[in-house]
Amino acid sequence: GDRYFSNTGKNRSSYKGLPDFEITLIESEVITAFNQQTGSDFHESDFRRNLITTAIRLNDLVGKEFTVNGIKMYGVRLCEPCASLQRRLATRILPDLMGKGGLRAQIKGNGIIHLADKIY
């Protein structure tokens, strides 16, 4: 789940309820390329996205509906890297990840997402 969902503690946020903060996705290929280009060894979870994808161009889903295991979603906008992520990773990421930081999406249905579910 999203760390802002409960809106308590240090995860308090004014973002709760906004459609582009419901779920975030990033391509595993972007993380691999970033690690290779920078000589880093960051784990996928370090990028703080809800879903890690393989073999799909997330930028192409902006403004489109798609499904993950039958759960309808809508690609709201790109999820550009932020200064907060750069501070947590303690490395310069912003130039290398601009336009490649993933996708912010709205969840339009219910269900359970499993490892290796397909995106359509």
Number of structural domains the chain divides into: 1
Q: Is 70 part of any domain? A: yes
Residue 65 belongs to domain spanning: 18-107
Please state the pTM of the whole predicted model: 0.81
pLDDT digits (tens, 9 = 90+) for 80-103: 887 777 777 767 776 778 899 899
Residue 95 lies in a domain: yes
Which pLDDT value is given to residue 10? 54
pLDDT band at 1; cut points 50, 70, 90: very low
SS (H, E, C) the chain: CCCCCCCCHHHCCCCCCCHHHCEEEEEHHHHHHHHHHHCCCCCHHHHCCCEEECCCCHHHHECCEEEECCEEEEEEEECCCCHHHHHHHCCCCHHHHCCCCCEEEEECCCCCCCCCCCEC
CATH number, position 78: 2.40.33.20
Q: Convert the pLDDT of each residue in 35-67 to its tens digit.
A: 998 888 889 998 889 999 999 999 999 999 999
In a domain, 116, yes or no: no
Does any domain span residue 74? yes
* 27 inside domain: yes
How do residues 6-37 score in pLDDT, each as one tens digit?
A: 555 555 455 556 777 899 999 999 999 999 98
**Is there a domain that residue 4 lies in?**
no
C-alpha to C-alpha distance for 4 and 10, rounded to whole angstroms: 9
